[in-house]
Structure 1
């Protein structure tokens, strides 16, 4: 099942994509999709609905982040060997964790706002994992049972804030609009193997990233179990699992960064596509 939220920012309503690719409105049955609606019983009930009986949503309607009320965004850094290599860093012995502000969340086609002082805004296509049931000290073998579904994500990053302004990475990761998510949440049954997914990203029509989740250093259950040792993951929490090689910082002979007017187009197997226009902040 592909779950969406559609409508103006701040007033999104629940929806889903039917088997024919038509966006349907769920709001008469379920006003919104948040942590409480990610419980296995609720998702099973939604999957049993005859989607063709739901009203179609007008084509071109804005899509928002497909999950409301995300409590926290936990990210994994340097989780592809090729990305660590292009950054000139060794593959980590344990997952590198950092946080991304929930105020950075935006829809899959919303503008990406480059802050006024930003100098090195970068792209990172990623697989996002949405938690469906609470995880605390969960063994690796049980981790995937806690997953509600998967989303396409772009971990937009301002490298000058991240690396040149002191402190942790977070200040370069949490700017408004720096976490475009969607277009949909693909429930776990839609993605039988999260370690066989192609990810790609173009800037102004030029392919910059072309990776696959089979090249994770730490796979999805390992990452989730590891995070659950240090903090409880709640329903609706979002885990971003890292990006493959090809980010702007790693371009040769010179890094390449985003400017107002640039267009990012990205996608992943089974998770749809995003088209993001960069604008001044």
Structure 2
């Protein structure tokens, strides 16, 4: 059986079809979620971005919905990966998982559009598209800004690096950027990063977009938060998660 034909993409991320960019980002996020979902949940790791259960819509369909109804710019999609790297470096307990990804993405799009674009939608529209109450999006936006410490922009070169590495590490290896060569080891390197077994401590180590290829930020230049005990809100939320899990288990047929 012949391998699928390679699809050539433009050299600059500004010129790529936005649906293909959404596919590339979703592919990266799906692998992040698959890995990070293996990490046991703890009270101190709970954030406002956690949902009680994983949404029923895939992250690709979610991104396509956002693109369709908000006319989001390509830079705003790509910078979401930079935000993940920044926040994970500053707040190590946070991971992008199936419980956090969708809410993180809609908050990221709302914030980045305001920071990078001359025209953007209202929070009412972002909330409607994202499937959450507008009051909840307002809270997510404030929490997002706190976690990112208002570092909302980056250079065009950083976004270009993310684009190149999304193409290079795509799980199916079907894309190639015009004017570059792509070694066959790129896909296998990515798979090794995301499908590695448990760490020596007994649980998987969280991964971020930059881990798939090169680290695009210098974590040493960031000031991570000092470890703090879980708050009362986190303990209550964690107890609710556990209770929901027990109820789901008891409702399952024997």
TM-score (norm 2): 0.25
Structure with the higher strand share, 1 or 2:
1
Structure with the higher helix share, 1 or 2:
2
